[in-house]
Chains A and B, each alone.
Chain A
């Protein structure tokens, strides 16, 4: 899905022209008020603009305080650009998010459904998108089709693979009438056909909700963003006061020292803008929007920003065994012949019995038999055989070929047939069946007439990369818990093979819910993936709940995110996106505050140079003149916002490692870097200003 979006450029579909227009439009005070840090910059810009106008009218205006007019003009110019740059960052992030959400909407391919008008006229269907189905619509579902939404069987009987929902590999029977008539969206009909009446409307478009999350005007601030804004606002207030009180300090100093001139308003405004955390203040909203945008890029739709943030905090991950940890379908792993039966005999018989079986299990038996014994493929049609399809009633399937009658099925089902035919079940086979079950596998018996030939070991195959991913999670401090409908023995075997920290066996909706509650009472934040209606309560209880797009409406409503790819391992990616979002905020905050040190060294000697020339020894950067020093700091302060836009959009690099290592690296880069970079940057700008004669 969504293959079309693969551009890696910074703008990623955002329209630059539009972004520039938006940055200018958003200079409006009512928009700036939303961000206290940038609002202070706005007020400062207005003040210096007024001073500049006053000086244009009268070069010696008292408002200028003796500063040259070009200097006031240049500071004013760059202050406005500080605002525009911050707006631009936000506009770009927004543009990217919208572009992605838009193309997602277009590219999204839905499950299609065979809509019919009357239950009896099911030959006359029209193909429609599952999304267009409404309550009361009738659909025909045939073998191999996905169930397009939740519904009720009104005609027919079918075996349905609900493993995607319940985790149970064995197919279940759904038929009209009685209490087995409910069909769940996202499950698959394996045999036969049914006519289903749709029982739920598709929910509100999640995509529309998501688009709301990338539009800054509609966006709600997330809890962590609010907490950070409080810190930034308090710091801004302090710096504002530091600058305001410098005026009396300066007046007093000039009076007592009897030398120099009082610090000018322009310089005070410049100092304030440099000190308040404009870097993070200007990029904060862009960071939040791009977090959402990265989520869309991963084909995940969130219904709130809060959920994405919470994803970074998750410390327990509930993973469905089927599809996440294992491949979902059981596969043949070994043949165990009965006494006096050769391996090859069993394998060849098992192959014949499965040759027409289109289920993944059946196919895997054929593949394994051919692989182990180098059997050449058989053309099914040339066999001239009669196939006995799997029937929900007998729970066996097989083949009749030249009077040979080969069957395969569950141990007890086969035993029943064999006994009726006068045969018996060898003890070795009974033992083997038990052993396979104990190891977490599914034993499948193969019999010919009244003789049992042996057992096929069907096994859940653990995905090859899951162990490494779970180990990564552990490094991040996240505990993985496997949920399965299997018995505890089977579950334990798979759990140890996959390396999960814990498992819930024989999981029912109640046990899942209980487990989540217990974890939450212990203070853990729980994330889970689900798709079935029976997952809904557990999804609703989880802190982060990802519903599969193929899942039922109930599951989607209960979750706070929807994964369009229906990929259960996506949860791990979501956690990473959540963490990255917080890390980017932290890194840029640290960087922003650390920057102030260099700015002080630039501005303080410059601001008081006339009163106390001795302070010039603090001018360790050797900046040319007081004007160039202040202007360099202001320009640096504005340019750094633009320079950091790519970082804000892409996010700080995330690696699975312990908190200490991550902290050490980030403090080093953004803390220490934040102290050093502005010294270099301001010096370079000063050199440039001097070279063009502006000093």
Chain B
């Protein structure tokens, strides 16, 4: 194993976790202050803007909503966003900033893309540079990159208010939450990251595509565009929808190891810091630490497993006596589908981080990973996108697992289970079960439909287990709102665009609504004081059980699918 994880690789991983750890407290506390309505360093700049937004839209940020109002407002807001984006994409040809004169998208592709971006999934059935105008990218997609992330944050904050509230129906004001999330958190962070990316070579312009003649004399079109600005929020908002088709493997989106590092840090920055925000807002930082500990303890071993699997190289090539070892001349390992400027470690790190968080951007092709290396991103999504997960959505998804764990563990200590002083009863169990189990239903049913229909089979390019893995990956990615693709699946068809769109909607709103209902129910409850008989939820023991529950639920749901996909593929490969 030692030769599979080089010192260089290890240092990069350590540096990665170190940076995230450094930002954990300051950014976490900052976000807690923002959502508590307290003054922050940026208040002098943004407070007046915030106020004028409220005035303009006649919003009273102090006016609380009950969970139904909150949910209806959120759904209406998302639906309006969907309609706007759908129309922009459909009528792209008539709109400005379209130097390449791209026509409007087909209705099913526009549907799929609009759903994909409002649900923070960013599954892309299209190639950005060959399909979308600058206007569609900026006014359409980029807007939703901000807004969908803000919606995720606001749902999380509403849930936290539910946990904090005592016999109230008030879980906060949706408009205020969304405004603050955008104004104080996403905008400033994106600005900083965009500038850093620009400095490291990511392009930002409105030029026409360049037509050049290569050294061989061939004609080549080089796509241009306002990339850096979109790249920043794409990473920070766990969106992942690339400006270009190959996403962050493209040299203009991600030119250097430095830009790669900035981007991969941006993926986990907010989801990680939100654990601190959570701890601060529930007045018990240890609760946040327990959750981040559970996340890291699931993520780190899988990440290292992925790195070593990829570094071990392709077994088929090994049997042909091809040298895949690390040495001064080559990175070694399985470099198929990976960028040489990133190498094994940064490709595996990205693949793990982007699927742990529901980001879904890629800097290497997951389809070309070794079967077990490719299993890691798939498994991380199958855990329900709760290991870091999407901005806001990851943590509220995780809290559903926490509630499930509290229920089972709480029974074992002989009390009606309670979490943070709130009794967990049948209503909470109903909501948590829905949120945890529904996405997997959509994955399993979706895959079955795809495998059993002509339209579905038409998109499967590879045979046998690999083909199965591709379909499984696509539905897992969509229903868990990740958005990364395994490639190798022809997904731009009315069939896949529609079915995956439905999965994305279910994976987003079928969790948001139970989450808000849970928030409402928790807010209405009394707060039970902690005693020696209360199950502590910040201890290593609880973290261990939480990890066990997440893994067990994921594995038990997907074991047969994984066996028929990556596992059998791996077994076949090593037998050859």
Residue numbers of A with Cβ under 8 A of B are 223-224, 226-228, 230-231, 234-235, 237-239, 241-242, 244-246, 248-253, 256-257, 275, 309-310, 312-313, 315, 474-479, 521-525, 578-583, 585-587, 589-590, 593-594, 596-597, 600, 604, 608, 612, 614-615, 617-618, 654, 658-660, 662-664, 666-667, 670-671
Contacts and interface: CB of A to CB of B under 8 A. Distances in A.
Contact of B575 (A231, A597, A600, A614): A614
A670 B412 contact: yes
Given A227-B407, A249-B447, 6 more contacts: A241-B441, A245-B447, A249-B468, A582-B415, A586-B412, A612-B465
Contacts of A658: 532-533
B414 to A, nearest CB: 3
A313 B416 contact: yes
A283 B541 CA distance: 27
B57 interface: no
B290 to A, nearest CB: 13
Most buried by B among A313, A479, A594: A313
A226 B468 CA distance: 38
Contacts of A475: 532
Interface string B519-540: 0000000111101111110010
Nearest to B426: A227
Interface in B540-576: 541-542, 545, 548, 552, 555-557, 559-561, 563-564, 567-568, 571-572, 575
Interface in B415-443: 415-416, 421, 424-426, 428-430, 433-434, 436-437, 440-441
B561 A249 contact: yes
B416 A524 contact: no
Nearest to A601: B559
A256 B536 contact: no
A312 B415 contact: yes
B559 to A, nearest CB: 5
A238 B412 contact: no
A315 B533 contact: yes
Given A315-B533, A659-B532, A583 B411 contact: yes
B411 A589 contact: yes
Given A231-B407, A251-B451, A589-B411, A600 B425 contact: no
A230 B426 contact: yes
A200 to B, nearest CB: 35
Contacts of A309: 416
Contact of A249 (B424, B541, B560): B560
Contacts of A667: 409, 412, 541, 545
A213 B447 CA distance: 46
B465 A654 contact: no
Given A242-B444, A580-B414, A615-B568, A252 B532 contact: no
Nearest to B404: A231
Contacts of B526: 521, 523
B567 A579 contact: no
Given A231-B404, A524-B528, A237 B437 contact: yes
B177 to A, nearest CB: 27
A230 to B, nearest CB: 5
Contacts of A228: 407, 411, 429
Contact of A523 (B445, B465, B528, B572): B528
B413 interface: yes
Contact of A659 (B535, B557, B575): B535
A228 B552 CA distance: 18
21 contacts: A227-B428, A230-B430, A239-B556, A246-B560, A253-B564, A256-B464, A275-B556, A477-B531, A580-B414, A582-B415, A586-B408, A596-B552, A658-B532, A658-B533, A659-B413, A660-B536, A662-B412, A662-B413, A663-B412, A667-B541, A671-B548
Nearest to B443: A245
B407 to A, nearest CB: 7
B66 to A, nearest CB: 21
DSSP class of A's interface residues: helix, strand, loop or mixed? Answer: helix
A587 B412 contact: yes
Q: For this complex, into which size category does the number of interface residues on chain B fall? A: 35 or more
Given A234-B437, A239-B556, A249-B561, A523 B535 contact: no
B162 interface: no
A660 B413 CA distance: 8
Contacts of B9: none
B448 interface: yes
DSSP class of B's interface residues: helix, strand, loop or mixed? Answer: helix
A659 B534 contact: yes
B425 A227 contact: yes
Interface string B307-340: 0000000000000000000000000000000000
Nearest to B423: A313
B463 interface: yes
Interface of B: 404, 407-416, 421, 424-426, 428-430, 433-434, 436-437, 440-441, 444-445, 447-448, 451-452, 463-465, 467-468, 526-529, 531-536, 539, 541-542, 545, 548, 552, 555-557, 559-561, 563-564, 567-568, 571-572, 575
A315 B548 CA distance: 29
A475 B545 CA distance: 23
Given A248-B451, A523-B526, A590 B430 contact: no
A256 B545 CA distance: 40
B572 to A, nearest CB: 5
A594 B426 contact: no
A91 to B, nearest CB: 25
B533 A234 contact: no
A178 B416 CA distance: 50
Contacts of B413: 579, 583, 586, 659, 662-663, 666
A666 B557 contact: no
A256 B560 contact: no
Most buried by B among A256, A475, A478, A583: A256
Q: Identify the 7 closest CB pairs spanning chains A and B, nearest first.
A: A477-B533, A586-B411, A579-B414, A477-B531, A477-B532, A586-B412, A614-B571
Nearest to A604: B563
Nearest to B453: A248
Most buried by A among B425, B428, B451, B526: B451
B415 A579 contact: yes
Contacts of A521: 526
A235 B436 CA distance: 10
Nearest to B560: A246
Contacts of B409: 586, 663, 667
Contacts of A249: 447-448, 451, 468, 560-561, 564
B415 A522 contact: no
Given A256-B463, A523-B529, A618-B563, A230 B433 contact: yes
Contact of A582 (B411, B436, B451, B560): B411
Contacts of B430: 230
B452 A248 contact: yes
B416 A664 contact: no
A524 B415 contact: no
B275 to A, nearest CB: 22
A217 B541 CA distance: 39
B445 A600 contact: no
B571 A615 contact: yes
A476 B441 CA distance: 40
A11 to B, nearest CB: 26
B410 A586 contact: yes
Contacts of B407: 227-228, 231
A227 B412 contact: no
A231 B436 CA distance: 11
B533 A659 contact: yes
Contact of B414 (A253, A583, A617): A583
A608 B564 contact: yes
Nearest to A612: B568
Contacts of A523: 421, 526-529
A313 B575 CA distance: 57
Contacts of A594: 552
B510 to A, nearest CB: 13
Contact of B531 (A248, A312, A315): A315
